C-alpha cells in the first residue's frame, strides 16, 4: 500500500511539473509582453498562473472530471478580498440572480448616485467575489450605492441568459431605487469586457422605455461589442497579448453562443459573413472608422474569404443586432445616455471600444474617452495588492473622476 501511494505521488508530481513546464514553454514562445507594460516580470508571473489554470481546466474537462469554467470559478472566488469599514455590503437575490449591494455607512442628507455593475470574464470566469475589490473601490471612492450583478454563466448557462440577467436586474433595481437611497436621476450602468458589452445592450434596450427612470450615464471598460469583423488592427496586433488573446476570446464566445470550434477560421477570416451583410455593416465596423494612429504600418486591411453558408448558419446569432450593440440602427444609438469609454492600447478589444465611441458621437451622444497607453485587457481587476499595476489605478481613478460629475 505504501509503495502504491509513493508511486501515485511520484506520478502526480511529475504530471504537475510536466504541465507547468508545458505552460512555461508556451508562455515564453507565444505570449507577447509589450514593452509599454510596466513591471513585465509581474505580468509574466500572472500570465503563467492564468495559463496554468486554463491548461489544468482543459485537462480536467477532457477527463470529464470538472469543466474548465468551474475550475476558474473555484480558484478565482477564493482569492483574497478587501472589506472597507465605511461600506455596508449585503448579499441578496433578485429572483434567481445573485447580487451584492454596496452602501456607504455614513448618513447622507440627499439621495446618492447609483451604479449597476456587470463584471467581465467572458462568461467563463468573473463573479461577485472576484470583482468584490473593484466594486468596493468604486462604491467607496465615489460615495455611491453600487449593485454588482452575479449573472449566470458557463458552463451551466448559455446565450442569452447572462445578458438577460443583466437587463432584468437593472429593471428590478430601477423600480426600487428609493428603497436603496438612490437618486432616480443619477443611475449609471458600468461594466468591463463582456460586462461592457452588457452595458451597451442594456442602455439600448432601455433607451425607449418611459415607465422607468432614465439612465444617466454608461461606462464601458474595454468592451466587446461586435464579432463581425475580427480582422481589425487590434485583433491582429494584440492577438497574443494576455489576458484576452484572440484564441481565448474565441473559446469564450464560441461556448457561450454554442458555436462549433471548427468554424474558428471562418469567423476570423469573415467567410461566415454574406456579402450583403458586410455591405450593410461595414460603415460601422470597417477599420476606416478608426483614428489613423491605431492603424500602424504592420496592419493589413481586413479581407473576407469566400462565403461559407454552413459557417454562417452555425454562427449567425453573433451578427444579430440584438447581440452585437455596434450593429443596431442609428435611432437606437441616439436614445442612449452619455458615456465614458475606456480602452487599452494592448487589448484585442481596443478597436471595438473605438468603433462604438464613433457610433455614439455620430449620433450626438456625449462621449468621454480614457485610453490607457500601458493598459492591457483585464487590468482593472489588478487594482490592489502585490500584483497591482499603475494602469489599473489610473483607469479606476478616471472612472471615479467621471462619476463625481454625474
List residues with catalytic annotation: 193, 347, 377
Report residue 182 as a C-alpha cell.
438612490
- The span from the CA of 111 to the CA of 242, in Å, is 41
The residue whose grid cell reads 488592427 is 233
Q: What is the DSSP string of 321-373?
A: TTT-GGGS-HHHHTTSPEEEEEEEEE-TTHHHHHHHHHHHHHTT--EEEEEEE
The residue whose grid cell reads 474617452 is 369
| Helices 350-362 and 275-285: angle between axes, nearest 10 degrees | 80
Report residue 18 as a C-alpha cell.
510536466
- The span from the CA of 57 to the CA of 59, in Å, is 5
Cis amide bond preceding 243, omega within 30: yes
- Residue 34 CB-density burial (10 A; 0-12 exposed, 13-18 middle, 19+ buried): middle
- Residue 184 CB-density burial (10 A; 0-12 exposed, 13-18 middle, 19+ buried): middle
Amino acid at each position: 500500500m505504501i509503495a502504491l501511494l509513493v508511486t501515485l505521488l511520484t506520478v502526480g508530481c511529475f504530471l504537475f511539473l510536466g504541465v507547468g513546464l508545458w505552460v512555461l514553454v508556451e508562455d515564453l514562445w507565444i505570449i507577447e509582453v509589450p514593452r509599454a507594460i510596466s513591471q513585465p516580470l509581474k505580468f509574466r508571473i500572472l500570465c503563467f498562473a492564468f495559463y496554468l489554470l486554463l491548461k489544468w481546466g482543459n485537462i480536467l474537462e477532457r477527463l470529464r472530471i470538472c469543466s474548465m469554467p468551474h475550475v476558474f470559478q473555484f480558484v478565482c472566488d477564493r482569492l483574497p478580498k478587501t472589506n472597507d469599514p465605511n461600506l455596508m455590503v449585503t448579499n441578496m437575490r433578485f429572483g434567481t440572480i445573485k447580487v451584492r449591494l454596496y452602501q456607504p455607512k455614513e448618513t447622507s442628507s440627499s439621495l446618492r448616485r447609483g451604479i449597476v455593475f456587470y463584471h467581465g470574464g467572458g462568461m467563463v470566469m468573473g463573479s461577485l467575489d472576484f470583482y468584490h475589490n473593484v466594486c468596493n473601490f468604486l462604491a467607496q471612492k465615489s460615495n455611491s450605492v453600487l449593485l454588482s450583478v452575479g449573472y449566470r454563466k458557463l458552463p451551466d448557462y448559455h446565450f442569452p441568459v447572462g445578458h438577460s440577467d443583466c437587463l432584468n436586474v437593472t429593471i428590478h433595481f430601477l423600480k426600487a431605487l428609493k428603497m436603496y437611497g438612490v437618486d432616480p436621476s443619477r443611475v449609471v450602468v458600468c461594466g468591463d469586457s463582456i460586462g461592457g458589452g452588457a452595458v451597451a445592450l442594456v442602455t439600448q434596450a432601455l433607451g425607449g422605455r418611459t415607465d422607468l427612470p432614465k439612465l444617466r450615464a454608461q461606462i464601458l471598460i474595454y468592451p466587446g461589442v461586435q464579432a463581425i469583423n475580427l480582422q481589425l488592427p487590434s485583433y491582429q496586433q494584440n492577438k497574443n497579448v494576455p489576458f484576452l488573446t484572440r484564441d481565448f476570446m474565441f473559446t469564450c464566445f464560441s461556448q457561450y453562443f454554442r458555436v462549433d470550434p471548427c468554424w474558428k477560421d471562418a469567423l476570423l477570416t469573415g467567410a461566415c459573413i454574406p456579402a450583403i451583410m458586410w455591405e450593410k455593416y461595414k460603415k460601422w465596423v470597417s477599420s476606416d472608422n478608426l483614428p489613423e494612429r491605431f492603424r500602424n504600418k504592420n496592419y493589413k486591411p481586413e479581407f473576407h474569404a469566400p462565403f461559407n453558408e454552413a459557417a454562417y448558419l452555425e454562427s449567425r446569432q453573433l451578427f444579430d443586432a440584438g447581440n452585437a450593440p455596434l450593429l443596431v440602427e442609428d435611432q437606437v444609438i441616439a436614445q442612449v445616455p452619455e458615456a465614458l469609454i475606456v480602452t487599452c492600447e494592448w487589448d484585442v478589444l481596443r478597436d471595438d471600444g473605438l468603433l462604438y465611441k464613433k457610433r455614439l458621437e455620430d449620433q450626438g451622444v456625449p462621449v468621454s474617452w480614457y485610453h490607457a497607453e500601458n493598459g492591457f485587457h483585464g487590468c482593472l481587476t489588478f487594482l490592489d495588492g502585490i500584483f497591482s499595476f499603475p494602469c489599473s489605478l489610473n483607469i479606476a481613478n478616471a472612472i471615479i473622476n467621471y462619476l463625481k460629475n454625474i
